[in-house]
Amino acid sequence: MSMQALFGQLLVGLINGSFYAMLSLGLAIIFGLLGIVNIAQGAFYMLGGFVTWMLLNYAGIGYFWSLLLVPIIVGLIGAAIEKTLLKKIYNLDHMYGLLLTFGIMMFIQGMFVHFFATAGRPYTVPSALTGGYNLGFMFLPKYRGWVVLASLVLCLVTWYAIEKTSIGRTLRAATENPTLTRAFGVNVPALMTIGFGIGVALAGAAGVLAAPIYPVSPLMGAELIITVFAVVVVGGMGSIMGAIVTSLMLGLLEGLTKVVYPQGSNMVIFVIMLIVLLVRPAGLFGRER
Amino acid sequence: MSDQRVLTVDNVTGHYGDSHILHGVSMHVNEGEVVTIIGRNGAGKTTLLRAIMGILTKRGGSIVVRGQETIALPPERIARLGIGYVPEERGIYATLDVTENLMLPPRVAAGGMSLDDIYKLFPNLYERRRSPGTRLSGGEQQMLAIARVLRTGAKFLLLDEPTEGLAPVIVQQIGATIELMKRQGMTLILVEQNFRFASRLADRHYVMEHGQIVDVIDRAQVQARMDSIKSYLGI
Ligand SMILES: Nc1ncnc2c1ncn2[C@@H]1O[C@H](COP(=O)(O)OP(=O)(O)O)[C@@H](O)[C@H]1O
Ligand SMILES: [Mg+2]
């Protein structure tokens, strides 16, 4: 096995890990604040990819503008869904949130399958990010490096905003004790709308980054979300940094498995999930309740 | 000035699910007054404060705060009328450190204390400013819960058993803080089991039993009515 192949697979792993990170980070924020396991997170990722494709093909709006606009669009769609649908079920059992977001996922996905069929649509890498660097031990395509960098920056900015700013402080307080936080004069229901919007906007941003790598297709999220949920089970829902670190580690591990035991690469995250469930059911970074 | 109404509670009912807890409570508080609600465990004192804050969702009757009917308002709007709430369970956030706990509640009125002033008043909180809120001792947590509402500028405070389970020296410190608030003209509702503590501070006592106000005792009558107070409290 060559060094080239090893580092090549580790890079693929890191990229996958970056996508896991953006999606699981959003899931963690949403679960913390709303108590809802958002099964539809993959559909919002797909929506991000598709809106990027549509902006280019229907409106001539390019990649970098999409990087800014698409998360906003996806976030607003999410906020509207929270305000009209999700807020009606907060008083019910967690299971209803699961079912409702499952329905939302099927609806969004079904709409796109209906209008666009399931075939993947290519999206060209923006010219500023074509080409690559020869690092000696491997060739690094510029765009792949960009995806890892952009998602790391996005995750760290989100982490910083939550842990170190006054808005993040309010968000953490509302997550821990929403009733008391309201009694201090914080508009927690509005915060929940915003939190859901931000959570799915992260998935939307991941969709933009994915468009030039994976073909844009209505089912692109459905495949990813299953792995992302396994990642979330391993990391535990409790911690933002935990979600980021677990995602990148599992992505790398997946890449490594592709080199040493290719047949196992699709399974390895699920095997780890089973082990973690047996040994530490709350997840590596989760808190036991 | 002294008989300007801050709070008028009129025929208020309250439920937890199907259990009917408050049965038509009426009371009032004027500007600058310290009023207590006393009564045995389970009488409904905490529930009444939760009804005033709007966090008891099943409530009826009328609750007017500074001229504004609040019975249909959500808690965040009620708090912004200038009320500070110190809950019985203290409500210190575990995921926030001491400074973050202090900075959390938004300002609801002008004239709140600055962080520096608060740390001068509570030097032991300054020592622990980077600790997660729940690492503090019970007394420190209670100080933090009180200090937290002093920053918001609220001039009308609801304090639910601030001395519960605390050592005498800390009870004294809390008493001094409440006296300071009173001197600054704040309006207070104090729920207390410790009547000796409450009677030194209060202008008026409401006695609560089974979700109703059964008696009102003015400061001047306390000595004369000590026997009935003792029997109300079961001491
Ligand atoms: N969350 C709750 N759900 C149901 N019943 C409650 C709840 N909290 C308190 N109660 C009941 O309401 C009554 C009044 O309680 P509370 O207001 O806490 O009394 P107090 O503060 O005077 O000790 C009690 O009978 C108590 O058991
Ligand atoms: Mg009580």
Residue B105 at interface with chain A, using a CB cutoff of 8 Å: yes
B27 SS3 class: strand
Q: Is B2 in the pocket of ligand 1 (CB under 6 A)?
A: no
Q: How many Å apart are CA B51 and CA B53, to the nearest integer? A: 5
Interface test with B, best of A33, A184, A239 (most B CBs within 10 A): A184
Q: What is the pTM of this model?
A: 0.91
pLDDT tier for residue A135 given thresholds of 50, 70 and 90: confident
Instruction: Indicate the average pLDDT of chain B.
Output: 94
Give burial (CB, 10 Å; 0-12/13-18/19+) of A208: buried
Asked whether the beta carbons of residue B104 and residue A179 sit closer than 8 angstroms, the reply is no
Q: Report chain A residues whose CB lies below 8 A from the CB of B103.
A: 166, 169
Nearest CA in chain A to B82: A185
Ligand 2 centre and the CA of A242: distance in Å?
A: 38
- Residue minimizing CA distance to atom 11 of ligand 1: B42
Using one digit for the tens of pLDDT, what is the confidence trace for B143-175?
999 999 999 999 999 999 999 999 999 999 999
Q: Which residue of A170, A176, A182 is in closest CB contact with B74?
A: A182
Using one digit for the tens of pLDDT, what is the confidence trace for A44-66?
999 999 999 999 999 999 999 99
Residue A166 at interface with chain B, using a CB cutoff of 8 Å: yes
What's the pLDDT at A138?
86
Which one of the ligands is nearest to B162 CA?
A: 2
What's the pLDDT at A265?
87
Residue extents of the structural domains in chain B: 1-81+193-235
* Unique residue bearing structure tokens 């080409």: A131
What does the H/E/C string look like for chain A? CCHHHHHHHHHHHHHHHHHHHHHHHHHHHHHHHHCCCCCCHHHHHHHHHHHHHHHHHHHCCCHHHHHHHHHHHHHHHHHHHHHHCHHHHCCCCHHHHHHHHHHHHHHHHHHHHHHHCCCCECCCCCHHHCCEEECCCCEEEHHHHHHHHHHHHHHHHHHHHHHHCHHHHHHHHHHHCHHHHHHCCCCHHHHHHHHHHHHHHHHHHHHHHHCCCCCECCCHHHHHHHHHHHHHHHHCCCCHHHHHHHHHHHHHHHHHHHHHCHHHCCCHHHHHHHHHHHHCCCCCCCCCC
- Residue minimizing CA distance to atom 26 of ligand 1: B42
Average pLDDT rounded to a whole number, residues B195-221:
94
ipTM of the complex: 0.94
Asked whether the beta carbons of residue B96 and residue A173 sit closer than 8 angstroms, the reply is yes
So what's the architecture of B1-81+193-235 in CATH? Answer: 3-Layer(aba) Sandwich (3.40)
Ligand 2 centre and the CA of A103: distance in Å?
A: 43
pLDDT tier for residue B1 given thresholds of 50, 70 and 90: very low
Nearest CA in chain A to B83: A184
Q: Is B41 in the pocket of ligand 1 (CB under 6 A)?
A: yes
Residue extents of the structural domains in chain A: 33-221, 223-289
pLDDT tier for residue B2 given thresholds of 50, 70 and 90: very low
Using one digit for the tens of pLDDT, what is the confidence trace for A163-173?
999 999 999 99
